[in-house]
Amino acid sequence: METPFLFLLGFLVAAVGVIPPGILNISAAKISVTVGYPRSVSFSIGVCLVVLAQTMIAIFFSRYISDHPELIAVLKLVAGVIFILVGIYFGFIAHPKPSGLPTVDLNSKKSYLFQGMFLSAINFLPIPYQAYMALTFSSWDWFHFDPYEIGLYIAGATMGTFSILYVYIFFFDALKHLKIFSAQNMNYIIGLVSAIIALITFYSSFTS
């Protein structure tokens, strides 16, 4: 597969996962507005370092699964259950705070780099998401589990994450007043998207 395509593939998959407002992108934007651009970039770099590691873990996990086809159906079912639970949580359980934004301890003495790493590390969803996507692309012969292609995909995923965080940092003030960006509306959207992905996953599990 050509180098630009693999990089773009990783870029787009990661970007799609970070576009919906969440604690990482909103925190990056809030840090920029409150304490300045350099610290928000430092926070974003911390997030991306963990995303790089999570994507690597996901790809190696998916490579193991691809070598053991009997586990693919199990992975699909597990992924489906995860997406269903995420959909239920965001659609029916999660309630935003009055501010509509996650809070960040702006007076912490800890480095913003490590704040980004910590918040990213407790967000485990990128691992099953990237593992599932890598298996899907591998089945379509778009992606192969060799070091060169893995490196390109991971680089694209890391840059895709950073790019979306960067967009939030610079455009959050202009976008936060749009009704669709209210916390409750985004909860419903995330819940709906998760439910759709779960249905597709279950359908492919029982028809393959």
Q: What percent of the chain has pLDDT over 70?
A: 63
Report H helices in the chain. 3-18, 23-35, 37-66, 72-88, 112-121, 126-139, 147-175, 183-207
33 vs 109, higher pLDDT: 33
Q: Which of 9-23, 75-89, 124-138 has the lowest mean pLDDT?
A: 75-89
Q: Give me the half-sphere count of Cα atoms (radius 13 Å) on the Cβ side of residue 41.
A: 4
Most distant pair of Cα atoms in the chain: their distance: 53
Q: Which pTM does this prediction carry?
A: 0.71
Best-predicted range by mean pLDDT among 65-74, 132-141, 149-158?
149-158
User: pLDDT higher for 55 or 204?
Assistant: 55
Within a 10 A sphere around the Cβ of 159, how many other Cβ atoms?
20
Q: Which pLDDT does position 177 carry in this prediction?
A: 59
**Three-state secondary structure call for residue 111:** coil
Return the structure tokens found at 43: 């926070």
Alpha carbon distance 57, 91 (integer Å):
29
